[in-house]
Chain A
């Protein structure tokens, strides 16, 4: 019990770590959504060049480890003469990686909408972007939402890897607290519980959406 008391006395550090975890995840999420939409549109256009680029992006970033990508930005940027903070490098790495998955999520959603919808929108005088924005995407959202939420869960989990480049997130603080107190077991269990308070509601929500989608189709 004494150990738990010590662990709880560090709640301030835990919470500041959790704050960074959430902040990084949120920024990376926004960026990865933007990347995902662009990549998905590249992949469904008729342009072979854009198609190829989109496919190459997805294949490359899905098939290489996140930690390599994060290291690339973190250790590579000074070598290129850029001075970017660890936090920014980590967020960028996380966003670029998740962007590839988001791209696939969006593509699957867009392709699930019947082709006739696009044709009808275009023949009513909408341009490609208008048709995408007003007709296709709103219908695709329903299909996209469950896997998108799952990607958000992955984002929060994956953000723990930024502790390896000295981003003071929850994982980093946990590591510091355990080397401060020499308490390992309880310190990690408490961190696990904190992660779960974020990820379990999100993934439960994703499951709920998925079940609703299955019922409606």
Chain B
């Protein structure tokens, strides 16, 4: 009885069904990671700008969005944006919500990295005739990057886990497919354990990769 609840999951038909979900999960994660990295950099640039009219909105954006539940944002992009004429598919509604949320956190990670570099580095570079941009790109960023990579990777692991929230608007990613599977075969324990292992493998691999990069950078 219990064994058959496991066996049924490994039938090609059901395994394929779950893998289709996994594909959505990976696509969601990759697109959202790329977009939140980009927008995170933009928001960080605004956040550390010398101009108040850029700095304040960025501060407001970061502090409000990172303090909201992600699923509220997903509901919002999917159900509320159409009211103002923005119709997004389930996939893009989820991507937009993940990007809005994660870019706020990425901006703070990048800012933390930049601000951890001693002020003397700035002064030294500027006094050598480097412009602001040159100092940022050639002196500050290479040093800050080392400090940013571990927290960025752990943020992206969180994002990969959070893609499971897309199931609430009916996107059939891995968690959504798992729910349909265990409802059909009445095997929630087995299905959820299997799916947990799939998520685990992806995220554990990412966190190990992060540690490896960290060690490499510490050496070099």
Contact = CB atoms under 8 A, between A and B. Distances in A.
Do A and B pair up? The answer is yes
Interface of A: 59-60, 62-69, 71-72, 75-76, 79-80, 153, 156-161, 163-164, 171, 174-175, 178, 184-185, 188, 191-192, 195-196, 199-200, 203
Closest 6 CB pairs of A and B: A160-B69, A75-B188, A63-B203, A65-B164, A199-B67, A65-B161
B3 interface: no
B67 A188 contact: no
B79 A72 contact: no
Interface stretch (B11-19, B126-134, B141-149, B191-199): B191-199
B204 interface: yes
Interface stretch (B70-78, B87-95, B117-125): B70-78
B7 interface: no
Contacts of B182: 75
B200 interface: yes
A35 B188 CA distance: 25
Contacts of A185: 80, 83-84
Contacts of A72: 188-189, 192-193, 196
30 contacts: A63-B199, A63-B207, A65-B165, A65-B175, A65-B196, A67-B165, A67-B175, A68-B199, A71-B192, A72-B188, A75-B192, A76-B188, A76-B192, A79-B188, A80-B189, A156-B69, A157-B69, A160-B70, A160-B72, A161-B69, A163-B71, A171-B69, A171-B71, A184-B79, A184-B80, A185-B80, A192-B64, A192-B72, A196-B64, A200-B67
Given A71-B179, A72-B189, A72-B192, A178 B67 contact: no
Contacts of A188: 72, 75-76, 79-80
B167 interface: yes
Interface of B: 63-64, 66-72, 75-76, 79-80, 83-84, 157, 161-162, 164-165, 167-168, 175, 178-179, 182, 186-189, 192-193, 195-196, 199-200, 203-204, 207
Contacts of A71: 175, 179, 188, 192
A195 B75 contact: no
A16 B79 CA distance: 23
B1 to A, nearest CB: 11
Nearest to B182: A75
Instruction: Say what secondary structure dominates the interface of chain A.
Output: helix
Contacts of B196: 60, 64-65, 68-69, 72
A63 B208 CA distance: 11
Contact of B162 (A65, A159, A191, A200): A65
A195 B207 contact: no
Contacts of A184: 79-80, 83
A46 B89 CA distance: 53
A200 B60 CA distance: 11
A68 B204 contact: no
A71 B190 CA distance: 12
A71 B179 CA distance: 9
